[in-house]
Amino acid sequence: MVANRRTFLGQSLAMGAGIGGISAGGWGALGLLSPAWAKDEPPLGTWPAGSQGSSVFIGITVPRTGTYAVQGEDELKGYQLAVEHINAGHPLIKAISPKTTKGVLGKEVKVGVADDGAKPNQAVQNISRFISENKAVLMTGGTSSAVAVALNKLAQREKVLCVVGISGSNDTTGKDCVRYSVRECFYGQTAAAGIGPVLLKAFGKGKKAAYLTPDYTYGHTVQKSMSDFLNKEGGWTTVTNQVSPLGAPDYSSFLLNIANSGAEIFLNINWGHDAVLSIQQAKQFGVLDKQKLVVPYQVPFLAREVGGNLLEGVYAATDFWWTLEDKYPLAKQFVAEFEKKYGYKPEWGANACYMQFAMWANAVETAGTFYPPAVIKVYESGAKIQSTVGEVHFRPEDHQLVRPVVIVRGKKASEMKGKEDYWEVLEVLPGEPLMQKPDAFGCKLGDYS
C-alpha cells in the first residue's frame, strides 16, 4: 500500500540521515523527518496543528476525587507508564507497536491530567481545555460510562480521537458509539456471555437470582445482559432487582429485600466504592452466608478493600489479572514493569489504559500520520495486535476491541501464595463468540470529518 511504502521510505531516510540528529538531542530532528503524506488534506480537529512540533499532547481526565477515585488513580498509573515506555521506546511497547522507535512518529508524548470526579460535565470541560490550549491529538477518560459517553460525543464533535479507559456499559460501543472513539475493555454483554456459562456449570439450572444494580446506564445494561443470558440459557429466574443510587451510604434496605427474596445467587453489579460497601454490608446482613455472591463486572482493588476473605469462592468476570503473566509473555513484562515502578501488581484498569495508549501508538505508527481519519482507518482495518492478553483486533463496525474475557474466582486465604494473590483465573474465553452482532445495540458510527 502506498502508505506503507512511503512510511518505509520515510523511516529509512530518517534512520540514515537522522542518527546524527538523534545523538544531537533529536526529538526535533526525528519529528521534522516524519512523512506528511496527508499534508494536502484540510485541517481537521487539532490536525495538523497538534502534531507539527516536536511533541504531541494527550489529554487525560480521570476521577481523582469521589466514588471512583481509587480506580481513577490506577488508570492514571497505567497511562503514565505507557507514556514513559513510548517515549523511551521500551521493548514492551515495541512488542505491541512494532514500528515505534521513540515517541510516536518520533514525537515526544506529553500529557495533561485533570480530575473529573466521575462527572461527565467536568470531564468534557477538562478535555475541551486540553484541545483548545494544548491541541491535544488524543483524549482519554472513562471509569464512569457516563463520562465515556460524553467524551465520545465530544470526540466526534471536535474530531479528536478518543480512546476510552474503563467503561462497562454496552452503550459505549452500542447506541452511543462514534467514529472517533475506540474501546479496549470488556463490557456488559461480553461479561454476561462469558461468565454466564461458568455460572450455569457451577450452580446448575433453574436458580433464583437477586440483583443489586446501580442506577445508571452501566448498571442497567449489565444487569439486562446477565439476566437475559441466565434466564434464557439456564432457566434462572430473577426474584428481585434492587436498584440503588450511585454513592448510596447504606444498603440495608436493599439487602434486607434481597435477604427476604429467597434468592440463591446474589449478583452484585455495583462498582467502585459502592461495590465494596454493598459487599461488606451484605456480609453483615448474613446475605453472603445464604446466597452465593457473583460479581459480573469486576472492580479493581475490590478484594483489597473488601477484606476479610469475603470474596472467597466468588465468581467474577474481568479484563485482566496479573497471574495471566504465566500465560502471556507480554503480560509478564507489563506486570513486572508496573510493579517495579509502583510497588504493587496492576489491576485491570491500569492494564486497559496502558494497552489503549500502546495500541494508539501502534495505529499512528502504522498510519504514518496523525491525521485522524487515517488513524481511524488503521483501527478499522482489523489488523492483529499483540497485547497483554494475546492477539486482539478491533471490530470495524463498532470500534470494540475483540479480546478475551477472563473468568476468575476468589481464592481462599489459605490458598493465596502472596499478598496480592486474590483471584484464581479459571478460564480465558475468546472474545469473538461472546460479542453481540455489530448492529445489535444500535451502533451508527458517524462521519470521518
Partner 1 sequence: MKPVPRSRRRPFLVEGLTALGLIVAPYVLPHLGFAPNTVNQILVWGLFGLGFDILFGFTGLLSFGQSAFFGSGGFIAAYLLTQDMIASVPLALLIGTLGAMAIGVLVGLIALRRTGIYFAMITVAIAEMFYFLENSPLSAWTGGENGIPGVPTPKIDFLVSWHVGTGWSMYWFLALCYFAGIVIALRIVRSPVGAILSAIRDNPLRVAALGHSVGAYKLTAFVVAAGYAGFAGGLLGVLQGFMPPDAFSFDTSGQLVMQTAIGGVGTLFGPLLGATVWLFLSEFLQTALHLGSAWKLVLGIVFVLLVCFLRHGLIGGFKDLHRLIFRRAEIDVEAPEEAPVPVVAKAVALPARHREGDLDSGPILTATGLSKRYGGLLANADIDFTVKVGELRGIIGPNGAGKSTFFKMLTCEVPPTSGKIVFEGRDITGRSVTEVCQLGLTKSYQVNQLFSRLTVRENLTIAALADLRGKFRLDLFSNLRKVAGLEERVEQALELVGLAARAGTMVSALAYGEKRRLEIGLALATSPSLLLLDEPLAGMSPRERVETVQLLKSIAKGRTMIVIDHDMDSLFELVEWITVLQEGRVLTEGTPDQIKTDPVVREAYLGGVHEP
Partner 2 sequence: MFNGLVLGALLALISSGLTIIYGTLGVLNLAHGAMFMIGGYAGYLTFTATGSFPLAILGGALFVMVLGVVMERVIIRHFYGRPHEDQILVTFGLSIVFVEAIRFSFGSLSYSVPPPPWATGVTSLGFMLYPTYRLVVVGIVAVALLALYLVLYRTRLGMIVRAGIEDSVMVDSLGINVFRVFMVVFGIGAMAAGFAGIVNAPVVSLTPDMGEMILVQTFVVVVIGGVGSFPGAILGGLIAGQILSITSMINPGYAYVMLFAAMTLVLLIRPRGLMGLRSRD
Strand partners, 400: 183, 395
The order of strands in the sheet holding 292-295 is: 237-244, 208-214, 265-268, 292-295, 315-318, 405-410, 423-429
Instruction: Give the footprint of partner 1 on residues 240-259 (CB under 8 A).
Output: 245-246
Residue 284 Cβ vs partner 2, minimum distance, rounded to whole Å: 4
Task: Find out whether 305 and 70 touch, Cβ atoms under 8 Å.
Answer: yes
Site for partner 2, rule CB under 8 A: 64-67, 69-70, 73, 215, 242-245, 247, 249-250, 252-254, 256-257, 259-260, 273, 276-277, 280-281, 284-286, 289, 301, 304-305, 307-308
| Of positions 110, 153, 332, 393, contacts partner 1 by CB under 8 A | 153
| 3-class secondary-structure state, position 410 | strand
Verify binding: residue 125, partner 1, rule CB under 8 A: yes
Instruction: Give the footprint of partner 1 on residues 384-443 (CB under 8 A).
Output: none
| Of positions 22, 84, 202, 216, contacts partner 1 by CB under 8 A | 216
Residue 37 Cβ vs partner 1, minimum distance, rounded to whole Å: 28
Contact region with partner 1 (CB under 8 A), list: 26-34, 64-72, 390-398, 399-407: 64-72
Residue 8 Cβ vs partner 1, minimum distance, rounded to whole Å: 38
Residue 350 Cβ vs partner 2, minimum distance, rounded to whole Å: 15
Residue 391 makes CB contacts below 8 A (sequence gap 6+) with 384, 385
Task: Find out whether 9 and 36 touch, Cβ atoms under 8 Å.
Answer: no
Strand partners, 107: 104
| 3-class secondary-structure state, position 114 | strand
| 3-class secondary-structure state, position 141 | strand
Cα(117)–Cα(111) distance, integer angstroms? 19
The label of the residue with cell 537522522 reads 18
Residue with Cβ nearer partner 1 (133 or 415): 133
Residue with Cβ nearer partner 1 (86 or 160): 160
Verify binding: residue 86, partner 1, rule CB under 8 A: no
CA dihedral (359, 361, 365, 369) positive or negative: positive
| Of positions 99, 110, 129, 393, contacts partner 1 by CB under 8 A | 129
- Binding partner selected for residue 256 from partner 1, partner 2, none, CB under the kind-specific 5 to 8 Å limit: partner 2
Cell numbers at 319, concatenated: 479484563
Verify binding: residue 108, partner 1, rule CB under 8 A: no
- Binding partner selected for residue 213 from partner 1, partner 2, none, CB under the kind-specific 5 to 8 Å limit: none
| Of positions 74, 75, 108, 115, contacts partner 1 by CB under 8 A | 115
Task: Find out whether 316 and 301 touch, Cβ atoms under 8 Å.
Answer: no
Residue 283 Cβ vs partner 1, minimum distance, rounded to whole Å: 28
- Binding partner selected for residue 426 from partner 1, partner 2, none, CB under the kind-specific 5 to 8 Å limit: none
Verify binding: residue 445, partner 1, rule CB under 8 A: no
Verify binding: residue 124, partner 1, rule CB under 8 A: yes
* Per-residue CA distances from 78 to 346, 371, 417 (Å): 8, 25, 25
The order of strands in the sheet holding 108-115 is: 108-115, 55-62, 138-141, 161-164, 181-183, 400-402, 390-395, 385-387
| Of positions 138, 149, 353, 363, contacts partner 1 by CB under 8 A | 149
* Per-residue CA distances from 285 to 104, 254, 280, 296, 356 (Å): 53, 11, 9, 21, 40
Verify binding: residue 176, partner 1, rule CB under 8 A: yes
Verify binding: residue 113, partner 1, rule CB under 8 A: yes
Residue 102 Cβ vs partner 1, minimum distance, rounded to whole Å: 24
End-to-end CA distance of the chain: 23
- Binding partner selected for residue 398 from partner 1, partner 2, none, CB under the kind-specific 5 to 8 Å limit: none
| Of positions 64, 283, 304, 377, contacts partner 1 by CB under 8 A | 64
Cα(165)–Cα(270) distance, integer angstroms? 18
- Binding partner selected for residue 175 from partner 2, partner 1, none, CB under the kind-specific 5 to 8 Å limit: none
Residue with Cβ nearer partner 1 (171 or 319): 171
Residue 62 Cβ vs partner 1, minimum distance, rounded to whole Å: 10
Residue with Cβ nearer partner 1 (53 or 112): 112
Cα(407)–Cα(387) distance, integer angstroms? 18
Cα(121)–Cα(151) distance, integer angstroms? 10
Cα(383)–Cα(381) distance, integer angstroms? 5
Which residues form the interface with partner 1 (CB under 8 A)? 64-65, 69, 112-115, 119-122, 124-125, 128-129, 131-133, 145-146, 149-150, 152-154, 157-158, 171, 176, 215-217, 245-246
